[in-house]
Structure 1
Amino acid sequence: MNVFIIGATGFVGGHLARHLIAEGHTVTGLARTESAALTLRARGISPVAADLDTRRAGAVEAALRADAVIYAAQADPEHETATVADLTRALRGTGKTLIFLSGSGVLMQRTAGAWSPDTFAEDDPFLPEPLAGSRKAAEDTVLAAVAHGTRAMVVRPGLIWGPGDHGHMSMIYQSVAVVGAAAYIGNGLATYGHVHIDDVTRLFGLALARGRSGGLYHAVAGETPNRWIAERVAQDLGVKARSVTLEEAEQVWGPFGALIMAASSRIRAVAAHRELGWQPQHADMLTMIGDQRLRALATPSP
C-alpha cells in the first residue's frame, strides 16, 4: 500500500513511517523544508514538498496519489481544520483510506490535580474540553466523510510515551530543574491513560489492514497518577517530591503545560480490542525512570 503521512517528521508520524515501511508499505511524507526532505529520504520515505498553510494544495494532490492518508501532524487549529476539510472534500467517492490522529485531550477533565472516577470508551458520550473544540470538530469531519465514499477512521491515543522526552514523565523531570523537587499539582492524583509509541503504531497498522470505515479507536495500556511519577523521579534523583499550586505550576510548565498536568483523561480501548484484536505490549510507563536523556532535563540551565 502507498501511504502518505502528514506529520512524518514528527514523533508519532516518524515512528509510524518506520513501522509501515517495515511492514512492506511504501511511504511518502510531507516535508515543509529541504532539510525535512533530506531527513525523510534518509529514512526511506519519499518527501512531498508542501505544507498546511500556503502550499496545502500539494498535500491534497499527494493524498489523491496515495492509497491511504494518515494525518499525524501537530498543527495549529486553523491549519488543521482547513487541511481536514480539504482532504475530506478531495477524497470524496474515492474509497481511499483516511486516518486521523487525535488524542484523549479532547475529553480531558480539569480536576485541579485531583482524581477523576470517569473513564471513557470509544462510544461513551462526553463533554469536550473547550480548548480542544477544533480537534473534536476535526474528528467529526473525518468520520462524516464515510457518508461520501471515504474509508475514514480516527485513532485517539492517551498520553504517548517512549524514547525521547515526551509527556508527563519528561515534564516532571524538568520541574526538578526549576523548583528543585519533582512537582505535581494539588494532591497529585490527576491521571492520564498512557500508551507506548510502538503500541500506537501497531494500532495504526491494524486499522489500515482491517479497520472499520467510520471506526473510532482508543489506544491505552495503563495509567499512573502524577504523584506516583513524581515520587519515582524524586527517588531516582535523590530529591523530594512536592505539590505545587496551579499558579506555581504555570511558572514551571507554562499555562498550557500546567493545564495538562492538572487534568485527568482516562480512557478504555474497547473498540480497538474488539474490532482489531489490538493488545498493548508495553504497560508500565515507569520503566523509563532513570533514562539518561530524562535525567538531563533535571539539570538547571546555566
Structure 2
Amino acid sequence: MNILILGATGFIGSAVAARLHAERHLVTGLARNPSRARIKYPSITWIKADLATMTDPSNWQVPLSGHQAVINCAGALQDGLSDDLAATQERAMHALYVAAKQSAIDLIVQISARTDGGGKKQPFLTTKRNADEALAASGLNHVILRPALVLGRNAHGGTALLRALAAMPFAFPLIHAQSPMETISVDDVAAAVSKAIAGQFPSGADIDLANDDVLTLRELVTLHRNWFGLAPVPVVAIPAGLARPVTWAADIAGRLGWRSPLRSTAMAVMSEGVLSRRSAQHRLSQRLTTAAEILDANPSGIQDVWSARLYLLKPLMIAGLALFWIVSGIVPILAPITASRHFLPFMSQDMATTLTIATCFIDMALGVLILVRPFARTALYGMLAVTLAYLAGGTLLEPSLWLDPLGPLVKVLPSILLTVATLAVLEER
C-alpha cells in the first residue's frame, strides 16, 4: 500500500515509518526539510511541506496523489514561534479530510491523545479534539489511536524530561510526584498502526493505547534512574506554585521557538496524570509492553546518561551565553571613552569610540539572537567568529593582555568551549 505519513521525522512517526517500510509498504513522509530527512531515512520518499500552510483542500492534492492511506503522527505541544496549533492540528486536518474525500484515500489513521482529561481546555488538546470530531463526522474510513506516555529507545519532549530528572545528581525535584502515569511502547504504537492499515480495526474505531501497569511519576523517574545504573537519590516534592516561574520561562522560550516540555500545557496535563479510558471498548484486548519491559529491552549506554544530564543544562548554556554577550555589550557602552583606550595608540579617539560602540552592538545582537531558535545556530557561529577576531586583534594590538593578571584574553577561551558545546547539543531531534 502507498502510505503518506505526517510527522514522519518525529519520535512516533519515524517508528511508524520504519515498521511500515519493513512490511513492504511504500512510505512517503512530509517534512519541512526533506533533504535532511532523506539523509537520515533514505528508504522513505519525502515531500517538502509545512502543515501550517496546508489549510486549504487544494494544498493536499499533490501530496495525496497516488496514496491509499494517510497516517497523522504530527503534533505540537503549544503555540510558539515554530508552531501554530490551530493551523497544523485543526485547520490543516479539516482541509485534509475534504481533500481525502475527493481522492482515492481508503483510510486515515489519526494519532491523537486523551482529550478529556487534565488540561482539556489547553489549545493542544482542544485542537486535537476538534480534529478528531471532524474526522469522526467526515464519513471517511478512519481509526483514532490515543497513546499514553510513549517510551522507546529514543526520547523526545516529555520522555526526554523524564530521563533528565532521573539523571539529577543529588535529588529528584518533582512536581506532581504522585500523579498516575500510564505508558506505551513506541513499538506497540507502530504495531497498532500496522493493524489499522491491515484492516484489523473497524472503521471509526477509537482506541486508547496503554499497558495495564500504572505508575506514579515518582516511580517512573526512579525506574529510569535504575535503567541508567545510577545510585538512588531522595525525591524532593516541589509545590506546583513554586514551579510557576520555570513554567513561565518555558512558555516565553516557546514563543521564541524552543519546544520545552516544561511549558504550561505539559504541567496542566501532569497535574492529573496520564491516564486512558478504562472501558473495554476503548482498549486493546492484547497485553502491551510495560515500562520496565521497554527499558529492559533497550539497555542504556553512557551516551544516554550524557544526553539526560545535558538536557536541562542546554537551556542554561544558552541563557548563560546570551547573558554573557549582552552584558559584555552593555558594560563598555556605559563608558565608551574609557573602554576605547586600548585602541588609542592606533587610531583617533573618535574612531576608537566608534569602533567600541559598534562592537558593543554586535555583542548585544548576538546575545539576543541566540535566544531565538531559528537564529541560534547563526548566532553561535557569529560568537565564535567575533571571539576569534577579538583574540586576534588583541594579540596583534596589545599582546601584553595575555599576561594581564586579570586575564581578559585568557578568560575568553572558556567561552569558546561553551559556545562549541552548545553547538554540539543544539539539535532537538
Name the TM-score class by shorter chain.
0.7 to 0.9
What is the Cα deviation at residue 88 of structure 1?
Answer: 0.7
Partner of 1:118: none
Partner of 2:237: 243
Contact in 2 for aligned 1:31/1:50 (Cα 8 Å):
yes
1:15-52 deviation per Cα after TM superposition (whole angstroms, max 9, x unaligned): 0000001111110111212434423652x111112221
Q: Which has the higher contact order (CA 8 A, sep 6+)?
A: 1
Segments ≥4 residues shifted beyond 6 Å: 176-179
Partner of 2:130: 137
> In the alignment, residue 88 of structure 1 is paired with which amino acid?
Y
Partner of 1:227: 218
What is the Cα deviation at residue 254 of structure 1?
Answer: 4.0
Name the one with the larger strand percent.
Answer: 1
Question: How many aligned positions are there?
Answer: 277
Unaligned runs of 5+ in 2: 77-83, 248-261, 318-429
Percent identical among aligned pairs is: 22
Partner of 2:185: 196
Question: 1:55 and 1:170, CA in 2 relative to 1: closer, same or farther beyond 3 A?
Answer: closer
Partner of 1:298: 309
Contact in 2 for aligned 1:64/1:91 (Cα 8 Å):
no
1:22, 1:13 → 2: CA distance?
A: 14
Q: TM-score, normalised by structure 1?
A: 0.79
Q: TM-score, normalised by structure 2?
A: 0.57
Name the one with the larger helix percent.
Answer: 2
Partner of 1:157: 147
Computed over aligned residues only, the root mean square deviation of the Cα atoms, in angstroms, reads: 3.0
Partner of 1:115: none
> In the alignment, residue 129 of structure 2 is paired with which amino acid?
K
1:83-108 deviation per Cα after TM superposition (whole angstroms, max 9, x unaligned): 1111110122646211111012x133
What is the Cα deviation at residue 200 of structure 1?
Answer: 0.4
Contact in 2 for aligned 1:217/1:272 (Cα 8 Å):
yes
Partner of 1:270: 280
1:153-179 deviation per Cα after TM superposition (whole angstroms, max 9, x unaligned): 211111101112346553244246779
Partner of 2:86: 78
Greater Rg, structure 1 or structure 2? Answer: 2
> In the alignment, residue 144 of structure 1 is paired with which amino acid?
A
What is the Cα deviation at residue 264 of structure 1?
Answer: 1.7
Partner of 1:65: 66
What is the Cα deviation at residue 142 of structure 1?
Answer: 1.0
- Specify which of 111, 119, 131 is matched with residue 101 of structure 1: 111
Unaligned runs of 5+ in 1: 111-127
Partner of 1:9: 9
